[in-house]
Structure 1
Amino acid sequence: MNEQPSTARVALKWGVIFGLVLMAITLVMYLTDQTTNPLFSGLTLGAMVAFLVLSMREFRSLNGGYMAYGEGLGLGALTSAVGGILSSAFTTFYNVVIDPTVQQRALEKAREKLEEQGSMSDEAIDQAMEMSEKFQSPGFTFIAGVFGTLIVGFLLSLIVAAFIRRNKANPFD
């Protein structure tokens, strides 16, 4: 009887690499002051899909060419969680220790955008900014980053696992 490969081991490997890539993307975004640039959101999403595919393909090849849908889904969620923890820890560290002004600059840009739109009164803009500041604590941003990455990763895993899975002809083998 051959042993089945561990989804946790594969997820840990690809999750760490994914987390490092997310850290690099975040660092470039902060250093170029492009926190509101949608290109970085697309780049992050593309990296997530790529690492989900890579992790599922490796698991499938280690498992004799087979991977059940549920295994792929669990693998994708775990890979996303590991990457999200690393990325969120880095982002929190960067925002607290390296450059604490990042969040303040982002709030100022958001205020400018709201003022340019002209659809809100000054009082409503002030209220929106106060509410945004409440969600800028390091603990909240860390937890939101981890859960955000996990949820998006899980949703993408629903799709990716459907394409990567390959069931055994005899499920009792």
Structure 2
Amino acid sequence: MENSQISASSIGIRFGMIGALISIIFSVVVYLMSWQMQSWQQWLPYILLFIIVFLAVKSFRETKEENLISFGECFKVGMIVTGVMVLVSMIWVYVYMQFIDPELVEMIMEKQITQMEDRGMSDEQIEQALSMSENFMSPPMMAIFAGVAQGIAGAIISLIVAAFMQKK
């Protein structure tokens, strides 16, 4: 039993680091191509997370005798992958927004203003919404929110993958 825990951790950490590296490379490409505000690119990290969790669980299942793996073991591997990717991603988001592309926060705010204007909000309502959201638009807060969102998505993805990959 001890070996399966070590294997789950090592596989989860390895795949989590691979996923984090791919995610960082992707965000650099997005930056270089000026795709930061494209709506389609917001979903790719979650698709990547799903693929990495699936591959990690599959890899771990293949180390088991007769490929027998419980729901809990599958979920554990998925959450280790998620944890590693979240931790690395939070650090990356902070570094990216603080040092590489500090104008991104301003671009996000401008997009929010445009969306609020498109919804017919008054200038007063827009100003009030911006003053409330300004506190949450700093690089540390954005990193925390990105980590929480990715963590929740990772838990859901891990549950789904575990449900389909378990083999009794």
**Structure 2 match to 1:124:** 125
Count of matched residue positions in the alignment of Structure 1 and Structure 2: 166
Match of 1:73 among 72, 75, 82: 75
Segments of 4+ moved more than 4 angstroms: none
1 CA distance for matches of 2:162 and 2:112?
Answer: 37
1:2 Cα deviation from its structure 2 partner: 9.3
**SS at 1:35's partner residue?**
coil
Question: Given the alignment of the two structures, is residue 106 of structure 1 paired with residue 97 of structure 2, yes or no?
Answer: no
Normalised to the residue count of structure 2, the TM-score between the two structures is: 0.90
Q: What runs of 5+ residues in structure 1 fail to find an aligned partner?
A: 168-173
Contact 2:93–2:139, Cα closer than 8 Å, also in 1: no
The structure in which a higher percent of residues are helix is 2
**Structure 1 match to 2:32:** 31
**Structure 2 match to 1:149:** 150
**Structure 2 match to 1:13:** 14
Contact 1:26–1:91, Cα closer than 8 Å, also in 2: no
User: Can you list the C-alpha shifts for 1:125-151, whole angstroms capped at 9, x where unaligned?
Assistant: 111112221101232222222222111
Q: Which amino acid aligns with 1:26?
A: S
Q: Which amino acid aligns with 2:83?
A: A
Answer with 133-142 or 152-161: which moved more. Answer: 133-142
Contact 2:15–2:56, Cα closer than 8 Å, also in 1: yes
**SS at 2:43's partner residue?**
helix
Q: Which amino acid aligns with 2:37?
A: T
Normalised to the residue count of structure 1, the TM-score between the two structures is: 0.87
Q: Which amino acid aligns with 1:110?
A: Q
2 CA distance for matches of 1:163 and 1:155?
Answer: 13
Contact 2:46–2:150, Cα closer than 8 Å, also in 1: no
Q: Which amino acid aligns with 1:32?
A: M
5 Å matches for 1:44-59? Answer: 44-59=45-60
2 CA distance for matches of 1:2 and 1:159?
Answer: 25
Q: Which amino acid aligns with 2:167?
A: R
> What is the alpha-carbon root mean square deviation over aligned residues?
1.8
**Structure 2 match to 1:83:** 85
User: Can you list the C-alpha shifts for 1:45-82, whole angstroms capped at 9, x where unaligned?
Assistant: 22111101100001101122121101111111110111
Answer with 68-77 or 135-144: which moved more. Answer: 135-144
1:33 Cα deviation from its structure 2 partner: 3.1
**Structure 1 match to 2:97:** 95
